[in-house]
Structure 1
Amino acid sequence: MYVCLSFCSAWASYMTNSPTVIVMIGLPARGKTYMSKKLTRYLNWIGVPTKVFNLGVYRREAVKAYKSYDFFRHDNKEAMEIRKQCALVALEDVKGYLTEEAGQIAVFDATNTTRERRDLILDFGKENAFKVFFVESVCDDPEVIAANILEVKVSSPDYPERHRERVMDDFLKRIECYKVTYQPLDPDEYDKDLSFIKVENVGRRFLVNRVQDYIQSRIVYYLMNIQVHSHSLYLCRHGESNHNTEGRIGGDSELSPGGKQFAHALRGFIEEHKLSDLKVWTSQLRRTIQTAEELIVPYEQWKILNEIDAGVCEEMTYDMIQNSFPEEFALRDQDKYHYRYLGGESYQDLVQRLEPVIMELERQGNVLVICHQAVMRCLLAYFLDKSADDLPYLKCPLHTVLKLSPVAYVSGVATSCIKYCSASPRHGLHQICQILPLFHQGTCKFPDISGGNGPSPHRPIQQVPDVLNGIEIRALRSSCKLGSRCLHSVPVPQV
């Protein structure tokens, strides 16, 4: 554990030369929390320890019962003092995280709409040798603001069991309270020496000022790529390959007969769901290309989507690796995320390689990514906010399509799991019918792929929405007449 922590700390130090406080600025309902959570997820994914400090949480701890927008009036002196004290407590927690908990970046998520408050934070940064980077979100589009209020604020802890229209009315009045004292960043005079990015109307325009270092440039790069729009991402592995049937890792083998069946079933899935505007991406390895060719739709090949490079262990079974490289085999078990195959890659290397894919996925509409187990794990870890410790163990079974639907303004995704089994040759492949939780207590759980009793064959389609750990979950399955053998029953190497 000590070795792993030291490695992580060294990597974070490589990315940042001093702790940084990212300070959000903007009126309520401008997507600040959405950006804070997405940015935090991204930075943690690339290996920079980051944490959000949301001032609303501190305020709700100090004031248990929210009554109305009057609390946010600038002439409510008692409330103003409470809000200031909450900010000071939150900043002390920021200090503790960056100095005592090996944190590298703290995101201070609050309105911070006055120069007085921002100057307070700047002084705090100077006293503790923290860099300060401001992110201001400006939006004057009434439709975007209304959508944010309806999607997020109606379900806020501030409004338990409130009528939607009343919530909208109260929140709009809260915004007006902030407008009275709002002082936007002034890039020409007062704030010309500050480091910041101003995001206008959810990414339609950007203003970047005095970026200080590498990590701030990465933050700017990311914020300029994220889009707030409804779309779905479909992830699946290639169909079963000949190497899969032999228990070999890596290589560039072709699809097995079972893999070709899945490719045919995948075509049916796309046609059934009328995904006409779907983009399809594959790696440059034959097993993903052959899976995509069956779809009869255009597809793009990405070399950076290739499977993790196993180096000298390519095309070997795990028994062969253990016999030939026992010490390497043991090292991999000790730290699977950071372990690098001899002459190959680690999961950490793979995350760095896949960053351009993440940026493109954030900008795209509906996309189906046909990839590989290690690649799919890395992509899932980003979208589901999984740690480096969890990433190498996320279950990504063959012949399973995972649908991720990023929710506007909300950190997290709606997920659907569609799993195929073989039936008789005449009936092709069908979806399995049964409800399952995809995630529980922060751990990614997918259907068992080792066989088992299987689902009831005549259960109707069901949908069960739930919310666990900030992720909206939808597990979907439909009826299935189980035939000869489940395509998942073949042992799959755990890369």
Structure 2
Amino acid sequence: MDSSVLEEVPIKDTLSVPGSSMGNHMARTRRRWSSSSADKRPKVSETTDGVHEDSKSDYISPGQLYSTESGRLFHAGKILIVLVGLPATSKTLLSVAITRYTKWLGVRTSSFHVSEYRRRMVNVDYDRFPNDYFSAKPQTAEGQALRTKILDQVLLDMLEFFKESKGQLAVYDALNILVEERTQLQKIFSERNIKVLFIESVMTDSEMIKHNVDMATKSADYADWPQKDAIHDYMHRLRVNRELYEEMTPKEQLSYVKYVNFGERLSVNNNHFGYLINKIVFFLMNLRNKKGCVYFARCGTSDNDKYVDDELLNAEGVKYSNLLTDLVLQTVNERRASQQPVSITPIGSASSPNSGLSSRSMSPSLSPLLATAASLRRTESTGNASMRQPASGDGGDEDSFVVWTAPRKRTHDTAKFFEERGITVRQRYQLQQLHPGLVADLTEDEVSQKFPEEYKEWKKDPYHYRFPRAESYHDLAVRMEPLLLEMERMRGDILIIGHESALRVLYGYLMACSCSDIPNLKFTRDELIEISFSPFENKVRRIPVVMNK
């Protein structure tokens, strides 16, 4: 393929700011953002994760700091990230997480999952596939032909992504465990001036492998399969490829990240790609495999409900706070009880990891939360020099539970019943609601009458426009980026109590919402929002909060 067809083509920007910039030679002569983001992406369902949706060439993302004519950011050029690793090493989870984060930053990103191509391209039931298709080196002609057909299509689509859609970052999710395959990918893309970074996911922790196998058996491949049969089939796939696996070494002279046990240890080799890749590596350093969920709840009510007044909760707000505490703890405990592992025994263990839980460790008098296998491991390992010590810091362990609130009184007071039950509560200044500026505590009708010109501009782009002395949703998203990384780092459950504006931004990141979606998301006091995590997408559940009259 001629490399010239992949050159960046500038797009003419016809949006200019009206008026003159005389007297200020540094004044902006073009709009930083388009005048309306509403037509950039079809509105998604509020319960649909948009991480796999295609973005139009002029799409502006919620966390994007600036835009360029080429559509590419950070002077990083085009980059291909190639996942490397055996089955059950969280490659899909990694690829989706990288896609979600870089899309939020405004990098035009797309992930290419070989498993999804197989399901779309081959109209054959999974159990009728060639027996050796899932091997990196199929031995039958049928298996080789099918594997070649699928991988070639993925390769063509990745090249097309860089060529036609102003794509900047492609994430390739496949085995790629052979030196020969990696060398070929490096050659094909480097010839087209596309940088290639390999991320090798290595799993040595038997508990993590067990969890990943368990998750894999819940995929579409194993619909209607008995769980034992699904586990046996997937473990066979893992064993076959383990014999063929060629781990990455510096001898290959490739740029790669070795990612051990999902962030337990990370090493970088031959990294000379600059800011964007370093930002992705920093993201990987914070990324953890989550067992818990993120919950969103509004704060309780006050008498006047005014921005300018930092009020205490009223009687109804206190009642709501108490009810919310009971509901969240009940929801978390029910989910933890249903997730007790029953499928496969960890390597080197003769029984279920929960079999040793004592009645004391499960006692509700010691904690309002149900004890898990992680609770037992932490109890056994603390102070034992022969065992790995428990993670330190909020959210470091899979059975952790932390409540985040904004600093305002009624928001923090909504969490007081959690504190009384021994749950960690943290005030996070980044959760402060969007600053409304001069339109504080005004209704929309009042704003349209007092500030008609500003109101018209806000209606065009409610995400990026800021009223006088106010913040925009974009400002809020930039301010809250450190919280995104903290959420990715935390393995257990998090409850975030805040104003609707702050919840919209965090929800928008976790569900890959567009700029047009975020200002219109609804968070009411009669619902608790639960976001759960899976390798391919996040899922939402709305839990009613029933206030007895």
So what's the TM-score if we normalise by structure 2?
0.69
Residue 62 of structure 1, CA deviation: 4.2
Question: What pairs up with 1:144-223 in 2 under 5 angstroms?
Answer: 144-157=208-221, 159-187=222-250, 189-191=251-253, 194-209=254-269, 210-223=271-284
Partner of 1:438: none
Distance in 2 between residues matched to 1:156 and 1:388, nearest whole Å: 31
**Letter in structure 1 aligned against 2:252:** Y
Partner of 2:91: 32
Q: Which of 13, 23, 26 is the matching residue for 2:82?
A: 23
CA contact (8 A) 1:125 1:131 kept: yes
- 3-state secondary structure, aligned to 1:370: strand
Distance in 2 between residues matched to 1:296 and 1:26, nearest whole Å: 43
Residue 85 of structure 1, CA deviation: 3.4
Distance in 2 between residues matched to 1:89 and 1:214, nearest whole Å: 31
Structure 1 position 291 matched with structure 2 position 414 = yes
Residue 130 of structure 1, CA deviation: 2.0
Q: Which of 180, 186, 190 is the matching residue for 1:122?
A: 186
- 3-state secondary structure, aligned to 2:545: strand
CA contact (8 A) 1:211 1:217 kept: no
From the superposition, tell whether residues 82 and 307 of structure 1 become closer, same or farther in structure 2 (CA, over 3 Å): same
From the superposition, tell whether residues 142 and 284 of structure 1 become closer, same or farther in structure 2 (CA, over 3 Å): closer
Distance in 2 between residues matched to 1:331 and 1:390, nearest whole Å: 18
**Letter in structure 2 aligned against 1:49:** R
| Identity value in percent | 30
Partner of 1:71: 133
CA contact (8 A) 1:240 1:399 kept: no
- 3-state secondary structure, aligned to 1:33: helix
Distance in 2 between residues matched to 1:90 and 1:329, nearest whole Å: 47
- 3-state secondary structure, aligned to 2:133: helix
CA contact (8 A) 1:55 1:90 kept: yes
Which segment is superposed worse, 266-275 or 124-133?
A: 266-275
Residue 186 of structure 1, CA deviation: 0.8
Q: Which of 89, 94, 98 is the matching residue for 2:158?
A: 94
From the superposition, tell whether residues 380 and 77 of structure 1 become closer, same or farther in structure 2 (CA, over 3 Å): same
Distance in 2 between residues matched to 1:344 and 1:91, nearest whole Å: 47
CA contact (8 A) 1:25 1:110 kept: yes
CA contact (8 A) 1:152 1:410 kept: no
Distance in 1 between residues matched to 2:130 and 2:316, nearest whole Å: 61
Residue 282 of structure 1, CA deviation: 1.2
- 3-state secondary structure, aligned to 2:523: coil
Residue 372 of structure 1, CA deviation: 1.1
Distance in 2 between residues matched to 1:146 and 1:176, nearest whole Å: 14
Residue 289 of structure 1, CA deviation: 2.1
From the superposition, tell whether residues 136 and 284 of structure 1 become closer, same or farther in structure 2 (CA, over 3 Å): same
1:136-156 superposed Cα distances (whole Å, 9 cap, x missing partner): 111133443233222223533
Q: Which of 321, 325, 334 is the matching residue for 1:263?
A: 321
Residue 77 of structure 1, CA deviation: 4.2
Structure 1 position 131 matched with structure 2 position 199 = no
From the superposition, tell whether residues 416 and 400 of structure 1 become closer, same or farther in structure 2 (CA, over 3 Å): closer
Distance in 2 between residues matched to 1:69 and 1:92, nearest whole Å: 26
Q: What is the Cα-based RMSD across aligned positions, in Å?
A: 2.8
Distance in 1 between residues matched to 2:526 and 2:184, nearest whole Å: 55
Q: Which of 412, 427, 431 is the matching residue for 2:538?
A: 412
From the superposition, tell whether residues 109 and 313 of structure 1 become closer, same or farther in structure 2 (CA, over 3 Å): same
CA contact (8 A) 1:41 1:385 kept: yes
Distance in 2 between residues matched to 1:115 and 1:262, nearest whole Å: 59
- 3-state secondary structure, aligned to 2:475: helix
Question: What pairs up with 1:343-382 in 2 under 5 angstroms?
Answer: 343-364=469-490, 365-382=492-509
Distance in 2 between residues matched to 1:150 and 1:413, nearest whole Å: 18
CA contact (8 A) 2:439 2:467 kept: yes
Residue 123 of structure 1, CA deviation: 2.4
Q: Which has the higher strand share?
A: 1
Partner of 2:25: none
Residue 340 of structure 1, CA deviation: 2.7
**Letter in structure 1 aligned against 2:298:** R
CA contact (8 A) 2:401 2:494 kept: yes
From the superposition, tell whether residues 270 and 68 of structure 1 become closer, same or farther in structure 2 (CA, over 3 Å): same
From the superposition, tell whether residues 155 and 270 of structure 1 become closer, same or farther in structure 2 (CA, over 3 Å): closer
Distance in 1 between residues matched to 2:272 and 2:285, nearest whole Å: 14
Distance in 2 between residues matched to 1:16 and 1:151, nearest whole Å: 38
From the superposition, tell whether residues 405 and 161 of structure 1 become closer, same or farther in structure 2 (CA, over 3 Å): closer
- 3-state secondary structure, aligned to 1:133: strand
Tell me the number of residue pairs that the alignment of Structure 1 and Structure 2 aligns. Answer: 415
Distance in 2 between residues matched to 1:24 and 1:137, nearest whole Å: 7
Residue 116 of structure 1, CA deviation: 2.0
Residue 262 of structure 1, CA deviation: 1.8
Residue 226 of structure 1, CA deviation: 1.9
CA contact (8 A) 2:130 2:142 kept: no
**Letter in structure 2 aligned against 1:299:** V
Partner of 1:110: 174
Residue 26 of structure 1, CA deviation: 0.7
From the superposition, tell whether residues 142 and 76 of structure 1 become closer, same or farther in structure 2 (CA, over 3 Å): farther
From the superposition, tell whether residues 128 and 390 of structure 1 become closer, same or farther in structure 2 (CA, over 3 Å): farther
**Letter in structure 1 aligned against 2:295:** Y
1:186-210 superposed Cα distances (whole Å, 9 cap, x missing partner): 13x223xx33221112222111221
- 3-state secondary structure, aligned to 2:191: helix
Q: Which segments of 5 or more consecutive residues in structure 2 lack a partner in the other structure?
A: 1-32, 41-57, 61-65, 334-367, 371-399
Q: Which of 529, 533, 548 is the matching residue for 1:402?
A: 529
So what's the TM-score if we normalise by structure 1?
0.76
From the superposition, tell whether residues 133 and 343 of structure 1 become closer, same or farther in structure 2 (CA, over 3 Å): farther
Distance in 1 between residues matched to 2:115 and 2:123, nearest whole Å: 11
From the superposition, tell whether residues 20 and 241 of structure 1 become closer, same or farther in structure 2 (CA, over 3 Å): farther
Structure 1 position 310 matched with structure 2 position 418 = no
- 3-state secondary structure, aligned to 1:395: coil
CA contact (8 A) 1:243 1:249 kept: no
CA contact (8 A) 1:196 1:211 kept: no
Structure 1 position 140 matched with structure 2 position 204 = yes
From the superposition, tell whether residues 363 and 28 of structure 1 become closer, same or farther in structure 2 (CA, over 3 Å): same
CA contact (8 A) 1:227 1:363 kept: yes
Partner of 2:518: 391
Question: Comparing both chains, which one has the higher relative contact order based on Cα–Cα distances under 8 Å and sequence gaps of 6 or more?
Answer: 2
